[in-house]
Chains A and B, each alone.
Chain A
Amino acid sequence: MNHQLPFYWRAGSWLLALLLFSPVVALVVEALAPSGELFDHLWNTVLPTYIINSILLILGVSILGAILAIPAAWVMANTNLPGKAQLQWLLILPLAMPSYVIAFIYTDLLEFAGPVQQLLRTITGWESAADYYFPEIRSLGGAIVILALVLYPYLYLLARTAFLEQSQSQVLASRLLGCSPLNSFFRVSLPMARPAIITGLALMGMEALGDFATVSYFSVPTLTTAVYDTWLGYGSLNAAAKISAMMLLVVMLLISTEKYSRRRLQLYQKNTGQEQKEHIALTGKTKWLALGWCWMLVILGFLLPSLILVNYLIRYFESSWNAELFQYGLNSLMVSGSAAAVACFVALFLCIYQRLKNDTFAKIPGRLVSTGYALPGNVLAIGVLIPLALTDNWINELLIQWGLSPVGLIFSGSALTIIFAYVVRFSAVAVGSVESSLGRVSPSLDMASRTLGCHPQGMVKRIHIPLIRKGLLAGLLLVFIESMKELPATLLLRPFNFETLATWVFQYVSDEQLEYAAPAALVLVLVGLVPLIMLNRSLERQEQS
């Protein structure tokens, strides 16, 4: 149904979308300029390795993430594992752990000079690295494991919800038709959860592609390294922009291929509302296997690194405590909170436009604002800087022409630029969340409310918003957590005398002395925990209703 939306809504959607898309446009314009022989030189030397590393990283993180998350999600949705009530939310906690912190901790632990290998040498009497084999943590494999450990909760969250929503009767039917439990999982449950799983994998893949801190810490050169090298090492922003544009293209291609591949796939949940979800009782070996699996994720992704942070905190408290930490925390909260609020507002505005207008054209704004997510943070930072600095210069020139005194860089020189950068980067998360919950609201409700004389704005306020509150909240919290951890854009774009928890922590991580930033790192993790627990609560309530 096509509803008549007020003009400001239609115009506003497009304006918002173009505003948030402007950094991408700026980069594409930059990429079009000739970069001479540089690109050829890179292509003939290091670029192929960077590309291969990036592809392997994405594949590795996706595959390992799927292996970690899907069984855990299924177990949480379908069984009555002891301690399930706690495990359910414990399994999300690694999301609060910034990858650069966990990368540092595991390197410290597992490298040749670290305590694990030292212990091994003491026990066995081995002396040098030549005496035994131990996997090198600072490697592509190490980066894959670390990123999978902190990113799997995305997939876990989405897959768990999808498994929970699945109708029991379809699984039972498959069992009646002779499927073994495992068979039924692969032939019914998994395909039914495919859209959710793909979305989760896409989120993980994009995060991995855009990662800068972990791969640089592990000295694994990927395309993000290439961007820095070309931009700063060779001083060629347009070659860097070309590489970023290529990355963007690949991501968009992947996503649309996936969408195309399931264009005819319509998934209907046949839920009569009467059936009681029966939880499978796990016993014996399977029970221990499931328990071990879930706890392993919690311990490796969260508990162990947290304990090590606490240990640093105790050992280095005197030299690491900083009275300014409170201010840094406030700064983090301010920019991340604002970004989350704005991103959700944008998501709501655009998704409703898309729903009520209901044609292909109306889908464009939502897609445009989502492209920012596929940009690595360092590229995005430049992309954001270009239009904002241009606007600032333009405003100041204008003021001077009018005989007024210039106001300085009101956008690019203030914390607004960081908030803008976060919104550009993470709107996709909010849009995804709002879009999917809006999709579950039956169109018949729209029709009914219109029939009863509600105008579109009233319908949005009285029907849609109350019904998608949960989705909106989920988007808000995810954008918030991601913003708290965000680094490259914050580092480059921050105004004078402005430190966030993330920048403070990273300053020490990059100097390989995280010990001294342990209090800030712990606060960063703890602040991330609150929204995660809230998020889980709201999802649980959604499941119960």
Chain B
Amino acid sequence: MKKLLSIASAVALSCSPLIAQAAEEVNVYSYRQPFLIEPMLKKFEEENDVKVNVVFAKKGLEERIQREGKFSPADVVLTSDMISLFDLVDRKLVQPVESNVIDENIPANLRDPDHQWYSLTKRVRNIYSSKRSDQPVDINYEDLASAQYKGKICTRSGKHPYNLGLVASMVAHKGEAETKQWLEGVKANLARRPQGNDRAQVKAIKEGVCDVSLGNSYYFGKMMQRDDQKAWADAVYLNFPNQKTDGSHINISGMVMAKYAPNKANAQKLMEYLSSEEAQSIYAKDNMEYPVNPKVAVSETVASWGEFKADPLPIADIAANRTTAQRLLDEVKFDL
């Protein structure tokens, strides 16, 4: 019993620093991975003398914040896609942030007119194609359902936020019925059941399992950087779809301020920093994403992929269709 008590008190002691609230700090709940955002958070800490505390998660932060209620310690939430960003907004877990700095850094089409959410980076949903066919292909998302790709397509789960965003944009453009038909066509063309991540599809193209795959562009650059994955990237072309029609689908990573943020001033400071040239160029260089701040150039590698036309449809209009997209994917049993 004594031992148990001493263990319990040791635990209590080791837990206490995690609860303690220092004077100058800001609390971040993040869906974005540590390796990417830690460098910029560190810089922010140094420059502003504000301690940044982070909780990293893959799923479910919305629920956690909601349950924590008005005593939630969360100040800023970082998401890696529009799906969770709008889940937060729709659950009314955010508060508007009015900052001239942010408004200047982020173009109006990439932020909420009501100041509830902000994009931090743009991520293109590309189509990778095998170099076994001679040319980079002039391809549309719609083509993935056509007979010429029978048994030639690889993709990750249809319900992954990146694909879910694409399907939601399809619904926004073409309506439910046509999107469902398209999904059925794509499913019929799959070379294998949806599995793995975006890189795994490129690897599959290299190995001859399939000829085309869906994937975000920054993976192309990242595979180039890795000795053991360069061969995969070398085996494919990176194509920007729908260049002659609506333009390529853009997903975003974003940020919001939590509704009950206890450190509002510091939270705003952090959000301003994340939209600044310094932080944006880290996003651009380290992760090869498209920065939202127009003053920041894309990385050299990304620049080498050329200019492209992006789908101008407002992000909120796409995100509004995310549940419909999820339902359609279930109806055609896309992942099964």
Chain A interface (Cβ < 8 Å from any Cβ of B): 41-42, 45-46, 49, 112-113, 127-129, 136, 138, 218-219, 221, 228-229, 231-235, 237, 334, 337-338, 341-342, 345, 378, 381-382, 385-386, 389-390, 392-393, 396, 406-410, 412-416, 419, 491-499, 503, 507, 510-512
**Is B181 an interface residue, CB under 8 A from the partner?**
no
Cβ–Cβ < 8 Å partners of B305 in chain A: none
Would you call B208 and A492 a contact (CB within 8 A)?
A: no
20 contacts between A and B (CB under 8 A): A42-B330, A229-B326, A231-B60, A232-B62, A233-B326, A234-B327, A337-B7, A345-B4, A385-B63, A406-B71, A409-B68, A409-B73, A412-B67, A414-B15, A419-B11, A495-B19, A496-B53, A496-B55, A497-B18, A499-B56
- Nearest-neighbor residue (CB-CB) of A240 within chain B: B63
When each residue 147-163 of chain B gets 1 if its CB lies under 8 Å from chain A and 0 otherwise, what string results? Answer: 00000000001010000
**Is B304 an interface residue, CB under 8 A from the partner?**
no
Asked, given contacts A113-B206, A510-B58, whether A219 binds B157 with beta carbons under 8 Å apart, the answer is yes
Chain B interface (Cβ < 8 Å from any Cβ of A): 3-4, 7-8, 11, 14-16, 18-19, 21, 27, 33-34, 53-64, 67-73, 87, 90-91, 157, 159, 164, 192-197, 199-200, 203-204, 206-209, 323, 326-327, 330-331, 333, 335-336
CA distance A408 to B197 in the complex (A): 38
Min Cβ gap B184→A in Å is: 13
CA distance A234 to B14 in the complex (A): 38
CA distance A41 to B14 in the complex (A): 47
Cβ–Cβ < 8 Å partners of A492 in chain B: 57, 59-61, 63-64
Cβ–Cβ < 8 Å partners of B71 in chain A: 392-393, 396, 406, 408-409
CA distance A410 to B194 in the complex (A): 42
Cβ–Cβ < 8 Å partners of A338 in chain B: 7-8, 11
Q: Which residue of A128, A218, A219, A235 contacts B323 across the interface (Cβ within 8 Å)?
A: A235
Other CB < 8 Å A-B pairs besides A45-B330, A389-B69, 10 of them? Answer: A113-B203, A138-B195, A221-B335, A231-B63, A233-B326, A378-B59, A415-B11, A495-B19, A496-B54, A512-B196
- The B interface is mostly helix, strand or loop, or mixed, namely helix
Min Cβ gap A520→B in Å is: 13
Cβ–Cβ < 8 Å partners of A342 in chain B: 4, 8
Min Cβ gap B62→A in Å is: 8
Asked, given contacts A334-B14, A414-B18, A512-B197, whether A128 binds B63 with beta carbons under 8 Å apart, the answer is no
CA distance A340 to B292 in the complex (A): 48
Would you call B33 and A507 a contact (CB within 8 A)?
A: yes
Asked, given contacts A49-B333, A392-B71, whether A218 binds B60 with beta carbons under 8 Å apart, the answer is no
Would you call A415 and B18 a contact (CB within 8 A)?
A: yes
Would you call B70 and A138 a contact (CB within 8 A)?
A: no
Cβ–Cβ < 8 Å partners of A337 in chain B: 7
Asked, given contacts A229-B326, A232-B60, whether A46 binds B336 with beta carbons under 8 Å apart, the answer is yes
Would you call B331 and A45 a contact (CB within 8 A)?
A: yes
Min Cβ gap B235→A in Å is: 11
In the complex, which of the residues B18, B53, B61, B194 has the most CB atoms of chain A within 10 Å of its own CB atom? Answer: B18
- Nearest-neighbor residue (CB-CB) of A47 within chain B: B330
In the complex, which of the residues B7, B11, B197, B335 has the most CB atoms of chain A within 10 Å of its own CB atom? Answer: B11
Asked, given contacts A46-B330, A219-B335, whether A228 binds B195 with beta carbons under 8 Å apart, the answer is no
Cβ–Cβ < 8 Å partners of A396 in chain B: 71
Would you call A512 and B200 a contact (CB within 8 A)?
A: yes
In the complex, which of the residues B34, B56, B204 has the most CB atoms of chain A within 10 Å of its own CB atom? Answer: B56
Cβ–Cβ < 8 Å partners of B91 in chain A: 235
Ordered nearest first, which 3 A-B pairs have the shortest CB separation?
Answer: A496-B53, A219-B195, A389-B67
CA distance A151 to B59 in the complex (A): 26
CA distance A503 to B203 in the complex (A): 26
Min Cβ gap A503→B in Å is: 8
CA distance A46 to B328 in the complex (A): 11
- Nearest-neighbor residue (CB-CB) of B59 within chain A: A232
CA distance A470 to B1 in the complex (A): 17
Min Cβ gap B202→A in Å is: 10
Cβ–Cβ < 8 Å partners of B164 in chain A: 233
- Nearest-neighbor residue (CB-CB) of A390 within chain B: B67
CA distance A396 to B58 in the complex (A): 29
Would you call A341 and B4 a contact (CB within 8 A)?
A: yes
Asked, given contacts A235-B87, A512-B199, whether A498 binds B59 with beta carbons under 8 Å apart, the answer is no
Cβ–Cβ < 8 Å partners of A231 in chain B: 60, 63
Would you call A46 and B333 a contact (CB within 8 A)?
A: yes
Would you call B59 and A413 a contact (CB within 8 A)?
A: no
Would you call B7 and A393 a contact (CB within 8 A)?
A: no
CA distance A298 to B157 in the complex (A): 34
Cβ–Cβ < 8 Å partners of A407 in chain B: 19
- Nearest-neighbor residue (CB-CB) of A139 within chain B: B193
Asked, given contacts A45-B333, A495-B55, A497-B18, whether A334 binds B11 with beta carbons under 8 Å apart, the answer is yes
In the complex, which of the residues B15, B195, B197 has the most CB atoms of chain A within 10 Å of its own CB atom? Answer: B15
Min Cβ gap A244→B in Å is: 14
Q: Which residue of A129, A136, A408 contacts B21 across the interface (Cβ within 8 Å)?
A: A408
CA distance A261 to B127 in the complex (A): 57
Cβ–Cβ < 8 Å partners of B53 in chain A: 496-497
Asked, given contacts A45-B333, A507-B34, whether A113 binds B87 with beta carbons under 8 Å apart, the answer is no
Q: Which residue of A113, A128, A229, A507 contacts B159 across the interface (Cβ within 8 Å)?
A: A229
Would you call A385 and B333 a contact (CB within 8 A)?
A: no
CA distance A411 to B63 in the complex (A): 16
Asked, given contacts A233-B326, A382-B63, A412-B67, whether A128 binds B14 with beta carbons under 8 Å apart, the answer is no
- Nearest-neighbor residue (CB-CB) of B14 within chain A: A334
Cβ–Cβ < 8 Å partners of A493 in chain B: 64
CA distance A342 to B8 in the complex (A): 9
CA distance A231 to B59 in the complex (A): 10
Cβ–Cβ < 8 Å partners of A127 in chain B: 208
CA distance A491 to B333 in the complex (A): 28
- Nearest-neighbor residue (CB-CB) of B72 within chain A: A409
- Nearest-neighbor residue (CB-CB) of B65 within chain A: A389
CA distance A499 to B164 in the complex (A): 29
Would you call B68 and A413 a contact (CB within 8 A)?
A: yes
Cβ–Cβ < 8 Å partners of A392 in chain B: 68, 71
CA distance A229 to B18 in the complex (A): 31
Q: Which residue of A45, A138, A228, A495 contacts B59 across the interface (Cβ within 8 Å)?
A: A228
Cβ–Cβ < 8 Å partners of A136 in chain B: 192
Min Cβ gap B192→A in Å is: 8
Cβ–Cβ < 8 Å partners of A382 in chain B: 60, 63
